Homo-oligomer: A and B are copies of this chain.
């Protein structure tokens, strides 16, 4: 034959439909084309389309109603990236309930490269916060935030008391902060990452590193974030 289609047809179709939902070709609440129409579009049997739709339904992306059709119930979370990136605001603005779960708060001296990015001397104490971000109860990202502990007295305690980073910063005397830079690439999920994000090992993640600074341009946070690739869309407004 032509080649060998390693991926089953129904998976390819599910992926295609998933992409259409992520691209807002089908908005939340929209009715998908009928199974017969989809079967014709993809050139497959209706059973194959049904298999794909069943997969999307178990993922919670669509809901089927007998006699009515298939309806989009959820779409990837929009996550705006700009000068002011606030997790809670970002998620809440999309009409979803933001939530954070902290795994561990670690304190250790900075390595040379960590010190460079945060503009502190090597060996200066760091406070590192590992956890997961959720929207509407489903995990969307893993994060590990690096804070310069000596510049932010009491940051570790503030992070455990308050859920938001913004509030924790305020307790440490940082009234405002802005995003200096963001770097984005894609990585496969490790076994442990997949576990926490409820994904398969090797599933594509959006890996982002970011630097936040206070009003004087002094770095206050260096963050690494692993977004579940099919559950989040980072958006960048041209104006930023």
Check if A185 sits within 8 Å of B12, measured CB to CB. no
Least CB distance from A31 to B in Å reads 14
Check if B238 sits within 8 Å of A184, measured CB to CB. no
Least CB distance from A209 to B in Å reads 7
Whether A181 contacts B230 in the complex (CB less than 8 A), given A186-B204, A204-B205, comes out as no
Residues of A in contact with B (beta carbons under 8 Å apart): 3, 5-7, 12, 15, 19, 22-25, 76, 81-83, 113, 178-188, 190-191, 201-206, 209, 227, 229-230, 232-240
Whether A182 contacts B5 in the complex (CB less than 8 A), given A23-B209, A187-B204, comes out as no
> Complex formed: what's the CA distance from A191 to B8 in Å?
11
- Using Cβ atoms and an 8 Å threshold, which residues of chain B touch A188? 15, 203-204
Least CB distance from A176 to B in Å reads 14
> Complex formed: what's the CA distance from A188 to B180 in Å?
29
Check if A238 sits within 8 Å of B190, measured CB to CB. no
- Using Cβ atoms and an 8 Å threshold, which residues of chain B touch A24? 113
- Using Cβ atoms and an 8 Å threshold, which residues of chain B touch A190? 7, 12, 15
Check if A181 sits within 8 Å of B6, measured CB to CB. no
> Complex formed: what's the CA distance from A62 to B24 in Å?
41
Whether A81 contacts B236 in the complex (CB less than 8 A), given A25-B113, A191-B5, A229-B204, comes out as yes
> Complex formed: what's the CA distance from A238 to B22 in Å?
26
- Using Cβ atoms and an 8 Å threshold, which residues of chain B touch A204? 186-188, 204-205, 229
- Using Cβ atoms and an 8 Å threshold, which residues of chain B touch A22? 185
